[in-house]
Structure 1
Amino acid sequence: MDVNRRTVIRSATAVAAVAAFPVAEGSAGTAFAATSSSSGSSSGSSGTSSAYSLEFDATAWSYDATNDVYYQIGKVYVANPAATDYENLSIYVPGAYLTATANSDGTTYTAKLNRKGTAGRYTGGTAPIVIPVNTPGYAHQGPATSYSYSAVSQYLDAGLIYVWPGLRGRDSSTSTRSDAAPWGVTDLKAAVRYLRYNRSVLPGSTDDIVLFGMSGGGAQDTVAGTSGDSPLYHPYLRTIGAAMEDAHGRPLSDAVAGVMAWCPITNLEEANLSYEWNMGQFASTGTRASGTWTSAYSTDLAKAWPAYVNRLGLRDEHGRRLELTGSADGVHLAGSYYDHLIGVITTSLNDFLSDNTFPYTITTMGGPPGSGQTGTSTTYETVDDYIAYLNTATTWVSYDATSNTATVSGLEGFVNSQKNANKPVGAFDGYSRGQTENGVFAMGLNAPAHFAPLSRDVVKANETKYATYADWDSAYGAAAYDSDFAQKDSVGKDMAWRGEAYNPLYFLSPAFAGYRRSKVARHWRIRTGIMQGDTANTTEINLQLALRNYGVRDVDFATVWAQAHTMAERTGDSTTNFISWVESIAGR
């Protein structure tokens, strides 16, 4: 039976929360109870045959004697994969965690788990398992095809177990491909379930699985981290033959312990609105130029954002409800939510002043990869020089040299100086289906689709006005959204189902029917570059607030000044900081 997924924001009908599915850490076995489709198909038809075994072959380890690493590459992690060239994983293990004997072939080893073997701070029974999610723009993650120690050395040197799964994405080109989301996160969940299914023969703690990724990868590990064991994913998992139960019939879990997200491009349901409120309302060129229908659309999206964010019921660390209110200038640039946002920006700037000494060189990013555009570097001799630069166009930062602290007076000055809108109106769900995220919700290769009901509602409410502009096209109207929303994917689910499955707030906020219907990761580390024009400041802020409001105690959050869309860190490098963070949360 389908789960009632209608959101409170779009309907007054609330759906009662149910308990999350239980977690069972079973041993590997011969039973596989999940109903799945026939081999190579991504259709929703059911069957009992399995093309691949879910049993991990402990007789097929390879060994890097120089670095004392056991590894296996190309392990298919579902019984009925839609695409074996994506749905396989590699696992890399410090040698101390296994006791092995050479096989007669002279190249492979049969290994048993050595729970007492030590590497770094861990043993073969306690080592955390880290999983990269490298899916920029929600693209696929290619699996490893050969062994490279350098790619995993820092993690293994620290005693971690590194699991690298291939994942399908919006650009996956398989003969069976008929739709995109939520297959990327579905594959990720299936890989996690595979590890738990084979817990008795694999080293490491499946209670300490940690995901890490940036941009679209940060988004997908965020979705996976908030949607643990969500019933929204079960039809998709069963279709590919994911491990749903252990050998004793106990449910397996795809919930994870921790998530490291750099610049996650997420919360796509709201993203068009937040982008225009946060940034677009201060722009006046391109699609926001006066006299264009898209300029009017930008304003209307910005006006729709306050009503949405107010109904989320977000609260700060003091329990104060965060809301936007009207303002004399701009669109709702007042209220407790606005004050909280300015506080985050101010904290980011003061962290920067505290972390760094002057003279200081700031390098701005160039164009996208492959564009040939390089960044530019500017050196500021003193803090006063830097503050003067920030206030070039208008004064929005004041500075107290005695305490080395700055105060930010408002959003407009910050955006015009540091965070320009670099995406067109309809930054995520494009009015002509031309944005990357339209491909994330495509119904097939080269078949992008609308996915955001909040944007559709703005278009519907203002379509008559937009039609008076010379550049309006009726193809941009609400009917196009409605047509896309009505389509069913290969598992028989509509766009509402798919959109909710990819919306972290659906699982975190009481404004949505998915609230308390999943198992949310208990440890979070979120880092974002404050200068990025890729998404609004509110994206990560709402995620952090929603996690805290949900009851997640460990949310390590920072918005990093003077950095853009990158693996932003206040100090140090991202890999070292991530490994240190994993060490701090292991076993907790």
Structure 2
Amino acid sequence: MNSRRYAKVAVKVACSAALALFGASTALAKTAPAARLQVDPKAFTLVHVTLDGKPLALRRYEAVYVRKPVAMAANQPARRMGPGGSPAAADKQVLANPLAYQSLYVFVPEGAKADAAIILNVNNGGWFASELRAGIRDGGSYQSTSNTDKVGAALAAGYVYVDVGTRGRGIVAADGTYPGHAPAAVIDTKAAIRWLRLNDAALPGSAERIVVTGTSGGGGLTAVIAASGDSPDFLPELARIGAAGISRTGKSTLSDAVFAAIAYCPITDLGHADLAYEWLYGPVRSAGGTRGNTGGGQWMPAQMAASARLAAGYPAYLDSLHLKLADGRALTAATMRDAIGAQVIAEVEHHIAQGGTVPARGEPFNIAIPRMFGGSMQITRANDWVTVSGGKVTDFDLGAFLTFVAAITPLKPVPAFDRSHNSGNTGIDGENTLFGAADQAWSNFTPYGWEANDVAGDGSGADDAGLAWKGWITHRGQPLARQLRMIDPFSYLGAEAKARVAPYWYVRHGMIDRDTAFPVEIALSRAIAGDSAVKELDFALPWMTPHSGDYDVQSAYRWLKKVISESGSW
């Protein structure tokens, strides 16, 4: 595939459409001259690190990657995430750098070549806003052979390393609006990619080999970025913030497509993730009695009814995707369970082939598993779901396996994602702050969540809007349909999508990760594999891995080295 084919994309957009897409009330900082986006190759800070015990010098560039960044409020509300959100303990945070959400760091290792890959890190855990943080610190020590040190692996390979700050849910603009609603994180990441292309000739590293990588919400962001390259959907908002390569008439002269994606446990397809979750885990909840294997409360009658209703909607949605398994069969509700089982069985046998062991049926697992934000958890539950003989799985019980997963980490409440103010859930507790109009803190974003909202006066739901879901989603000026589409890789994967899809994908979802349901990730893998532009997909459910990322760095970077060597001019 010739990268020059997408070098120029011409699409006209009206200024009124740009205002409607972004939200006209969102404050913008003063416009800077166009030259501001051009990097000065001599304007860098020298950073000294140790790599495998030896000194290494890097040049660090810092830049605001848009001409018209959004003006942020000095005091930001606290967010309940750890790294990638922040800070968990404070009532509010004072924003030291008002441009932290639309800036980037570029780290260029000594001796980096012009055609080196560029590792672009997105850190939007939970789809929350991600302030710019330096992933490489002066005086830091890194290891190229570590399985959890992607900095060390990248530097040892001579890659350029980029950290990017992006908007996301949980931030407030200077004018009191909410500029982090979807698809802000996607818009900002695309703007950063365009900045890298604008400055491609000035810095080492090739913008034709950008590798975007992230975990959880960042994994979801990674997936949609890799799926939606050069889509005209995003041009109005890119123009609004002054992204590189967008003219006043909406024409694009730069690409925001990427070479590869390394995505861990992507939280994605949020418009349908509740359906998949209950279709898979509803029986596990029911078998759990009044507790229902559900974290955060009892297995209430309202949640039981919600689970059944959501689960019933999943088969038709899955059918609508028209996905195929590797053997050519349609991926449907009837074949999805087999597909999940096949992935788990493959991982068990891979684990054994690598020298691992599996306890006999009835005997306990005794494994310490690292947690995403530090520490570890001990798994001591008995094996009641798999039998192995001669290195091969001879018996597998998917239902028992799902119960095993839920016993390690209790399932999310019902609904898992759009759960604010419905089904007995109180407070804003799902992904709801990712959605809504610019002047709206949050919104229900699925048909069930909207119709079941039972809190009058909260500004969301049919009770307040006076419109059922179908009427609301098509109501003039309502952004929900666009927001859901523009953060969903399924919107762009496939022959009919007007997008430049990344040719290389490395996707991981832990074998005991219940943060989104396995059907979401299986379907994503099949959508990727079914896109004609995709040359290689490496997908797995790694052995006894919870919701986390960057745990198999050696494997990921061996894969990256291989696809780079095989790619030629893509």
Structure 1's 184 and 355: CA in aligned 2 closer, same or farther, altered over 3 A?
same
> Do the aligned residues in 2 keep the contact of 1:427 with 1:435 (CA within 8 Å)?
no
Q: Which residue of 1 aligns with 2:549?
A: 567
1:157 matched to 2:167? The reply is no
Q: How far 1:423 moved relative to its partner?
A: 0.5
Structure 1's 304 and 363: CA in aligned 2 closer, same or farther, altered over 3 A?
same
Q: Which residue of 1 aligns with 2:74?
A: none
1:311 matched to 2:320? The reply is yes
Q: Which residue of 2 aligns with 1:523?
A: 504
Deviation digits for residues 508-530 of structure 1, max 9, x if unmatched?
257xxxx4211111100011111
Deviation digits for residues 173-212 of structure 1, max 9, x if unmatched?
4324424111111111100000111122121111110011
> Do the aligned residues in 1 keep the contact of 2:30 with 2:68 (CA within 8 Å)?
no
Which of the residues 558, 562, 565 maps onto 1:580?
558
* Aligned residue type for 1:583: K
Q: Which residue of 1 aligns with 2:273?
A: 271
Q: How far 1:478 moved relative to its partner?
A: 4.5
1:412 matched to 2:399? The reply is yes
Structure 2 residue ranges without an equivalent (≥5):
50-54, 72-98, 143-150, 359-364, 422-426
TM-score by length of 2: 0.75
Q: How far 1:338 moved relative to its partner?
A: 2.5
* Aligned residue type for 1:181: A
Q: Using the alignment, how far apart are the partners of 1:480 and 1:316 within structure 2?
A: 43
1:80 matched to 2:68? The reply is yes
> Do the aligned residues in 1 keep the contact of 2:211 with 2:259 (CA within 8 Å)?
yes
Structure 1's 184 and 408: CA in aligned 2 closer, same or farther, altered over 3 A?
farther
Q: Which residue of 1 aligns with 2:383?
A: 390
1:555 matched to 2:534? The reply is no
Deviation digits for residues 101-123 of structure 1, max 9, x if unmatched?
xxxxxxxxxxxxxxxxxxxxxxx
* Aligned residue type for 2:479: D
* Aligned residue type for 1:94: P
Higher mean C-alpha displacement, 405-414 vs 260-269: 405-414
Q: Using the alignment, how far apart are the partners of 1:41 and 1:424 within structure 2?
A: 32
Deviation digits for residues 422-441 of structure 1, max 9, x if unmatched?
20111011151733411122
Q: Which residue of 2 aligns with 1:356?
A: 355
Higher mean C-alpha displacement, 439-448 vs 310-319: 439-448
> Do the aligned residues in 1 keep the contact of 2:230 with 2:255 (CA within 8 Å)?
yes
Q: Which residue of 2 aligns with 1:54?
A: 37
Q: How far 1:292 moved relative to its partner?
A: 1.1
> Do the aligned residues in 2 keep the contact of 1:25 with 1:199 (CA within 8 Å)?
no
Q: How far 1:96 moved relative to its partner?
A: 2.2
Q: Which residue of 1 aligns with 2:133?
A: 144
Alignment of 1:199-218 (within 5 A): 199-218=200-219
**Count of aligned pairs:** 484
> Do the aligned residues in 1 keep the contact of 2:26 with 2:173 (CA within 8 Å)?
no
Q: Which residue of 1 aligns with 2:428?
A: 434
1:170 matched to 2:166? The reply is no
Structure 1's 427 and 203: CA in aligned 2 closer, same or farther, altered over 3 A?
same
Which of the residues 130, 140, 143 maps onto 2:119?
130
Q: Using the alignment, how far apart are the partners of 2:28 and 2:122 within structure 1?
A: 29
Alignment of 1:162-561 (within 5 A): 162-176=161-175, 177-179=177-179, 180-245=181-246, 251-284=253-286, 285-286=290-291, 292-324=301-333, 335-358=334-357, 361-364=366-369, 369=373, 375-376=377-378, 378=380, 389-391=382-384, 396-399=385-388, 401=389, 403-419=390-406, 422-432=411-421, 434-443=428-437, 447-453=441-447, 455=448, 478-479=462-463, 494-509=479-494, 515-551=496-532, 552-561=534-543
> Do the aligned residues in 2 keep the contact of 1:486 with 1:494 (CA within 8 Å)?
no
> Do the aligned residues in 1 keep the contact of 2:123 with 2:218 (CA within 8 Å)?
yes
Q: Secondary structure at the match of 2:547?
A: coil
Q: CA RMSD in A?
A: 3.8
* Aligned residue type for 1:251: T
Q: Which residue of 2 aligns with 1:331?
A: none
Q: Using the alignment, how far apart are the partners of 1:34 and 1:128 within structure 2?
A: 36
Structure 1 residue ranges without an equivalent (≥5):
1-19, 27-32, 98-123, 325-334, 379-385, 467-471
Q: Which residue of 2 aligns with 1:92?
A: 107
TM-score by length of 1: 0.73
Q: How far 1:337 moved relative to its partner?
A: 2.7
Deviation digits for residues 543-564 of structure 1, max 9, x if unmatched?
1000111122300011112111
Percent identity over the alignment is 29
Structure 1's 153 and 353: CA in aligned 2 closer, same or farther, altered over 3 A?
closer
